Structure 1
Amino acid sequence: MVSSPSSPSFSLSTASFADPFAEEFGEFTSAVNTLADALAATAAQRDRAGGTALAERRLLRESGLLALAIPRAFGGLEAGWPLIFRAIRRLAQADSSLAHLFGFQHLQVASVLLFGSAAQQARYLGSAVEHRWFWGNAVNARDTRLAAVRTADGLEIDGTKAFCSGATDSDVLNISVVLGRDPTDRVFAVVPTSRAGIRVHDDWDNMGQRQTDSGSVSFERVRIAHDEVLGPPGVASSPRATLRNLIGQVVLTEIYLGNALGALRAAIDYLRTQTQPWPMAGVERSQDDRLLQLRAGEMWSALQAATALSNHANARFQQAWDRGAALTAEERAALAIDVASARTQAARTALHVTSQIFELVGARATASRHGFDRYWRNVRVHTLHDPLDYRHQGIGAWLLAGDVPNPHGYG
């Protein structure tokens, strides 16, 4: 049948049949895949060990990919956000902890782009490219133990922040602190991690995301200069400025999806090479077991749906980003619902897939050396970041009552 000029056309890549998990990243495809393969080689062993992945952090620096979100005007690569988000997903297939650090790197860069003045953007982002900075953070909004007092030169801060992902081995820290009683009266500052009075603690020992260095950082009379506080425009300056929160949500979404894709891929590889067929299946190879095919197909379909929803939200995010200062509160609210929908779907799907892979690989694969359990542990830790039930309730409040997510919290 010959299609008419008005008929839609499409092409199918043979690569998608050879490797259904493969993705393209344009000019960065080789760099992303090379980095992912290097991280995957030792991911299971390092997960058991925990601690700081110094060698792997060095690989991230050397890849050049830490500059993906930095504009070309400052020497960066200026990739689109959908590509950055998919790169996080790809790295999470290999190593969820390092993907977390990679994603949070771009979150800190976005903080400078959204909150910082033109001079601060040139100063910090130019230096980030030149010196291959790794960014850490101490911005947990729910941890209110950090206090600030104004000084003639800027601020002096004392206290502690928890969940400071990437702070270990970082060059600079993004720090947030509330200046008054109003929780929206919050400022962000950029300071060297080596500054006097800053102490990064080695106290991260959770069951998942074991190498994200997400422990605590304490501050003792740490001085922050006026020009190190980001702004103008600053934190709560516009709907555009609140896009930072949504980037954090998308990073979580991509880590869920990456873990689930990585788990299914690893399970299929193990099944094909090591899983013995069950006698009642009546087949010589496990991959020909119709019940295992059924289960794998169900997981793949669920993942494809969750991934498509995430891709949609990520494209919408880029549109909002491109709107610049013209982005309205209503547009931002609609985007927040898209992001929340993608996150909840990805989370539920990832929890399901990362637990169901054991039905494919069998009892022998539960040996700790294989590390199949790390995928579920990583997702389970991250899905508790802010409760999914409240995400669903927020979507429902928007649908039924027209209530919009709080742009200054996690919404």
Structure 2
Amino acid sequence: MPVLPESAEYSIHSPNAHVIGDAAEALAVAERVAAVLLEQDAERDRTRQVPAEVVDLYSNSGLWGISVPREFGGAQVSYAVLAQVIAIISAADPSLGQIPQNHYCLLEDIRLQGSAEQQAHFFTLALQGHRFANALSETGGKNVQDIQATVRRSGEGYLINGRKGYCTGSLYAHWLAVLALDEEQRAQLAFVERGTPGLAVLDDWDSMGQRTTSSGTVLAQDLRVSAFNLFPTYRSYETPTLAGPFAQLTTAAIDAGIARAALRDTIAFVRQHARPWIDAGVEKASEDPLTIIQVGALDIRLEAAEALLERAGKVLDAARSAPDAENVAQASLAVARAKVLTTEIALEASNKLFELGGTRSTLKQHNFDRHWRNARVHTLHDPVRWKYHLVGNWLLNGVKPPRHDWS
């Protein structure tokens, strides 16, 4: 049997999180945390390094626990508010905005498929500030649903074997949630504490964008997990649930944040450094009429994207108490519409920054290319062209969206 590589080193401290009480506090805390994260955003991207105290500040703020249900001590903020929080953080640093995206999705898995005892245990951990990361996807398969990792009974517990990729936040996590197929080819989700024998976290994410998300590799080799830590996640798609629309909502929120960051830096650079075109006959770039039109157009399209994002969150909120085939389909459609606009404005705004800022905006000292790199990489999460198809197929043929993590 091959020797399991050593896990990447990172300072994982014991959590000590504040517990946020309601939506208003969540939004206020998000703004305060975002202000701190924005200070060194460009430098973290440049060095591919995130100090442990930065991640600790973020998770100990209480923001990672705001979706925990009220009956377990959480604020249970609405889906719309959670999307807004993610967008606020992502406008400051979208890599850090993405780190808890799967954490929130895992909390939703616990809500949907956990027993009362499992929910009490893992929701308590989340409120304490424990960070959950995913080990869900795999690379090299036929498609994103081609899972080769296995989970098999062994005594009173289970053994997991497999290689996982795109494991966002894995370097910073206290717990890894590993997806594997059982003997009946059903997807099971195992929560495994960092440092468990048979688990290795590799810091090998080297993408051009979202550089500090730690979306690298996780290896499981005869990884032992107790039955208590196993969740039957396949059930989330056997019947209508909001698991898929929820995952898509959180993803779209990150793209909205990237767009907001790009537009923010465009406005500041045009005001302070750009030059007007000679034919404009004005003194400052901010007075150039064609530049003014372009900035106005970007703002309008971003406002439209954010409005659809908020609307999508409210559609999910309306379906939460009693999801059925119809309202889950409507949730998927609402999120698809939002995701089209958040994807397109993230790419457009991050590209227009250079057009409107001019050659000076490309200097390395500004590191503005991170906005485009982040937008280009993160919007590859799933193809937005299929969102157009999803909406059109519903309108023309009455075909409900498929039920999976990408719909």
Q: How many Å apart are 1:327 and its aligned residue?
A: 1.6
The equivalent of 2:281 in structure 1 is: 282
Aligned to 2:108: 110
How far 1:388 sits from its partner (Å)?
Answer: 1.6
d(CA) in 1 for partners of 2:27 and 2:311? 21
Q: CA deviation at 1:370?
A: 1.0
Distance 1:284 1:408 in 2: 54
Q: 2:363 aligns with which of 355, 367, 370?
A: 367
Query: Residues 163-219 of structure 1: CA distance to partner in whole angstroms, max 9, x if unpaired?
Result: 11111121111221122465xx21112121221100000110001111110011000
How far off is 1:237 after superposition?
A: 5.1
Q: Determine helix, strand or coil for the equivalent of 1:31.
A: helix
Query: How has the CA–CA distance of structure 1 residues 56 and 328 changed in structure 2, closer, same or farther, with 3 Å as cutoff?
Result: same
Q: Gaps (5+ residues) in structure 2?
A: 1-22, 138-143
Compared CA separation, residues 268 and 298, structure 1 to 2 (3 A)? same
The answer for the alignment partner of 2:132 in structure 1 is 135
User: Which residue does the alignment assign to 2:379?
Assistant: 383
Q: Is the 8 A contact 2:187 2:234 kept in 1?
A: no
Retained in 2: the 8 A contact 1:116–1:234? Answer: no
Query: For the Cα contact (< 8 Å) 2:243–2:405, is it kept in 1?
Result: no
Which blocks of at least 5 consecutive residues in structure 1 are unaligned?
A: 1-24
Q: 1:233 to 1:281 in 2, by over 3 A?
A: closer
CA contact (8 A) 1:145 1:161 kept: no
| Alignment-mate amino acid for residue 391 of structure 1 | K
Whether 2:152 is the aligned partner of 1:153: answer: no
Q: Is 1:201 the equivalent of 2:221?
A: no
User: Secondary structure at 1:368's aligned position in 2?
Assistant: coil
* Residue 143 to residue 40, structure 1, CA distance change in 2 (3 Å): farther
User: TM-score, normalised on structure 1?
Assistant: 0.87
From the superposition, tell whether residues 362 and 233 of structure 1 become closer, same or farther in structure 2 (CA, over 3 Å).
closer
Cα separation, 2, equivalents of 1:261 and 1:177: 37
- Measure, in 1, the Cα distance between the counterparts of 2:403 and 2:270: 45
* Greater mean deviation of Cα atoms: 94-103 or 382-391: 382-391
- Point out the more displaced range, 397-406 or 92-101: 397-406
* Contact 1:117/1:231 (<8 A) preserved: no
- The 3-state SS of whatever aligns with 1:161 is strand
Q: Which residue of 2 aligns with 1:20?
A: none
2:313 is the alignment partner of 1:318: no
Partner of 1:342: 338
CA deviation digits over 1:262-297, x for unaligned, max 9?
110111112212223333322222211111101101
- Of stretches 86-95 and 99-108 in structure 1, the one that deviates more from structure 2 is 99-108
Aligned to 2:4: none
Bigger Cα displacement from structure 2, 137-146 vs 363-372: 137-146
Distance 2:192 2:239 in 1: 24
Following TM superposition, by how much is the alpha carbon of 1:55 offset from its aligned partner in structure 2, in angstroms?
2.9
Partner of 1:259: 258
- Count of residues in correspondence between the two structures: 379
Distance (Å, rounded) in 2 between the aligned partners of 1:233 and 1:400: 30
Q: Deviations over 1:73-102 (max 9, x none)?
A: 323232222111101111111100000013
**Residue 44 of structure 2 contacts residue 50 of structure 2 at CA under 8 Å; is this kept in 1?**
no
For 1:232 and 1:217, the matched residues in 2 are separated by 19
Contact preservation (8 Å) 1:135, 1:170: yes
TM-score (norm 2): 0.88
Contact 2:152 2:183 in 1 (8 A): no
Cα deviations by residue, 1:337-375 (Å, 9 ceiling, x for unpaired)? 111111112112221121112122111111122121111
CA shift for structure 1 position 398: 1.9
Q: CA deviation at 1:317?
A: 0.9
* Aligned residue identity for 1:219: A
CA distance in 2: counterparts of 1:354 and 1:360, whole angstroms? 11
Match runs of 1:28-177 below 5 Å: 28-130=26-128, 132-140=129-137, 142=145, 144-177=147-180
**Identity across the alignment (%):** 32
Letter in 1 for 2:29: A
Give the equivalent residue in structure 2 for 1:212. Answer: 213
User: Quick one: structure 1 residues 122 and 268, their matched pair in 2 at CA, closer, same or farther if it must change by over 3 Å?
Assistant: same
